[in-house]
């Protein structure tokens, strides 16, 4: 009780989001539990919310997450503490009253995990009162699918990604349809004149995000924030690369950018904004996002093959990572020497999540190489 009150002090207006994870299945492995706790600290620092007018009751939990009917005691992880708690207790009542957002760990279906080896975890928001911020989410984890090797920060990114879904990122639909964008058909030009009919989908709630994305890509005509498929759950992998909210997490570092800040801040139905992001806290990370920076509309609207042809003519000096082109040369900042892309440092790779599309990607190069004319030959 004392613990909770000191953790979660109350005030009117916007306050750091009080978040906790509840598990009837005990603790995760020590490294995962540690990163889960770190992700909670991150959410508490990054998210500001208003106190909900509709407190959650234990009966809501039993109704929406029936598997919790079988537990008498659960593990509660807050940003700073880990405690066991009885579900029917004053402490739990207080927790439900004080917390802004609770994520319940639920059992994953092992068959689903083995069917999709890329599935690491899944989270879904639970809205209790229409047009109000979801106070609850469920999250399941496919322990058997966790990738190796990985760095310790991988689970930090995985939990941030999933809890963002739990808050509604890519999973809540704009009921007003005000931010819904029509999908666009286009042709992806591959190597050897291959033409692949394709469709661009755009995320809902892109009003704020699109402004940030236009600046990032340097494309004022950008039509919308491209989604990864018609479900519109994620940012498009090809366009947004190592952004935290693309479908596929990079093993080494994913960035929560201003583009995602814009999506989650605009993710709400009803009159009032649900989430406010602490820009000062987030800026160190968000400003690091450099994937596709200044690539222009040519990148957003064309295949990599077409984009690289244009870049070759008009974008000398552009930092081209992760792409490369064998007819081009590159140099590294602060070094006058010019190098040629060769088979050794430039290879064709499949676009993640799309079996038909391939792009030439750099291999074993530092990411700050710039395109350079090939003459004089170095
Ligand atoms: Zn996801």
Complex ipTM: 1.00
165 annotated among ligand-binding-site residues: yes
Decide: 198 and 188 in contact? Cβ < 8 Å: yes
Decide: 74 and 106 in contact? Cβ < 8 Å: no
In angstroms, what is the span from residue 93 Cα to ligand 1's centroid? 31
Beta bridge partners of 50: 14
In angstroms, what is the span from residue 81 Cα to ligand 1's centroid? 27
In angstroms, what is the span from residue 315 Cα to ligand 1's centroid? 33
In angstroms, what is the span from residue 141 Cα to ligand 1's centroid? 12
Q: Could you state, in chain order, the average pLDDT of each consecutive group of 10 residues for the chain (378 residues)?
A: 48 87 94 95 98 95 97 98 96 97 93 86 96 97 75 89 98 94 95 92 97 98 95 96 94 93 97 96 97 95 94 85 90 89 92 89 88 70
Active-site pick, 35, 50, 122, 162: 162
CA distances (Å), 155 to each of 12, 252, 321, 378, in order?
A: 33, 11, 25, 43
Decide: 138 and 126 in contact? Cβ < 8 Å: yes
Q: In whole angstroms, what is the distance from residue 147 CA to residue 117 CA?
A: 9
234 annotated among ligand-binding-site residues: yes
Produce one character per residue of 235-271: b if its CB has 16 or more CB atoms within 10 Å, e if not.
bbbbbbbbbbbbbebbeeebbbbbbbbbbbbbbbbee
Cβ neighbours for 336, distance < 8 A, ≥ 6 positions apart = none
Bond preceding residue 292 cis, omega within 30 of 0: no
Region label for 72, one of left (φ > 0), alpha (ψ between -120 and 50) or beta (otherwise): alpha
Q: In whole angstroms, what is the distance from residue 323 CA to residue 346 CA?
A: 8
Identify the pLDDT of residue 376.
57
In angstroms, what is the span from residue 133 Cα to ligand 1's centroid? 19
How does DSSP assign 37-73, residue by residue? HHHHHHHHHHEEEEPPSS---HHHHHHHSGGGGG-SE
Identify the pLDDT of residue 116.
86
CATH class of 2-167: alpha beta
By CB atoms closer than 10 A (0-12, 13-18, 19+), residue 198 is middle
Decide: 86 and 24 in contact? Cβ < 8 Å: no
CB-CB neighbours of 292 under 10 Å: 25
Q: Nearest to residue 322, comparing CAs of 226, 241, 233, 235?
A: 241
How does DSSP assign 196-210, residue by residue? EEEEEEE-SS-HHHH
Per DSSP, 14 falls in state E
In angstroms, what is the span from residue 45 Cα to ligand 1's centroid? 22
Q: Nearest to residue 295, comparing CAs of 235, 240, 254?
A: 240
Identify the pLDDT of residue 70.
96
Decide: 95 and 135 in contact? Cβ < 8 Å: no
Decide: 181 and 206 in contact? Cβ < 8 Å: yes
CA distances (Å), 25 to each of 33, 90, 223, 321, 369, in order?
A: 12, 21, 45, 43, 47
Q: For the chain, which residues make up each domain, given as ranges?
A: 2-167, 184-286, 303-372
* φ/ψ of residue 209, rounded to 5: -65, -40
In angstroms, what is the span from residue 79 Cα to ligand 1's centroid? 22
Per DSSP, 303 falls in state -
Identify the pLDDT of residue 190.
92
Q: In whole angstroms, what is the distance from residue 2 CA to residue 191 CA?
A: 65
In angstroms, what is the span from residue 162 Cα to ligand 1's centroid? 6
Decide: 37 and 161 in contact? Cβ < 8 Å: no
Q: In whole angstroms, what is the distance from residue 304 CA to residue 248 CA?
A: 19
CA distances (Å), 299 to each of 38, 45, 180, in order?
A: 35, 34, 23
Beta bridge partners of 16: 48
> Which residue, chain included where needed, has tokens 């590294």?
332
Is 298 among the residues known to form the active site? no
Beta bridge partners of 138: 104, 124
Identify the pLDDT of residue 378.
45
In angstroms, what is the span from residue 12 Cα to ligand 1's centroid? 32
In angstroms, what is the span from residue 123 Cα to ligand 1's centroid? 8
Identify the pLDDT of residue 146.
72
């Amino acid at each position: 009780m004392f613990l909770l009150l000191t953790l979660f002090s109350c005030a009117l207006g916007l306050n750091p989001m009080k978040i906790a994870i509840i598990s009837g299945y005990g603790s995760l492995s020590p490294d995962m539990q540690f990163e889960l706790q770190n992700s909670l600290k991150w959410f508490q620092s990054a998210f500001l919310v208003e106190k909900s007018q509709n407190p959650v009751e234990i009966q809501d939990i039993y109704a929406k997450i029936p598997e919790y009917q079988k537990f008498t005691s659960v593990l509660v992880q807050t940003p700073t503490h880990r405690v066991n708690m009885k579900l029917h207790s004053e402490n739990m009542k207080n927790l439900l009253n004080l917390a802004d957002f609770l994520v319940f760990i639920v059992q994953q279906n092992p068959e689903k995990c083995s069917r999709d080896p890329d599935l690491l975890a899944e989270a879904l928001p639970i809205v209790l009162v229409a047009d109000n911020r979801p106070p609850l989410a469920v999250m399941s984890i496919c322990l058997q699918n966790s990738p190796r090797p990985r760095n310790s920060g991988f689970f930090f990114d995985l939990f941030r990604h999933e809890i963002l879904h739990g808050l509604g990122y890519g999973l809540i639909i704009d009921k007003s349809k005000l931010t819904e964008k029509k999908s666009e058909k286009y042709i992806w030009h591959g190597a050897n004149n291959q033409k692949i009919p394709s469709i661009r989908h755009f995320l809902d709630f892109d009003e704020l995000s699109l402004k940030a994305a236009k600046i990032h890509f340097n494309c004022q005509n950008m039509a919308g924030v491209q989604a990864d498929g018609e479900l519109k759950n994620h940012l498009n992998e090809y366009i947004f690369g190592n952004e935290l909210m693309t479908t596929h997490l990079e093993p080494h570092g994913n960035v929560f950018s201003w583009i995602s800040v814009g999506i989650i801040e605009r993710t709400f139905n009803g009159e009032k904004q649900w989430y406010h992001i602490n820009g000062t806290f987030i800026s160190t990370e968000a400003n690091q996002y450099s994937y596709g920076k200044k690539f222009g509309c040519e990148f957003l609207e064309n295949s990599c093959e077409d984009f690289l042809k244009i870049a070759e003519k008009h974008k000398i000096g552009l930092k081209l990572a992760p792409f490369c082109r064998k007819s081009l040369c590159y140099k590294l900042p602060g070094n006058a020497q010019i190098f040629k892309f060769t088979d050794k440092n430039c290879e064709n790779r499949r676009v993640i999540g799309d079996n038909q599309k391939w792009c030439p990607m750099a291999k074993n190069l530092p990411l700050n190489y710039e395109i350079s004319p090939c003459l004089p030959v170095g």
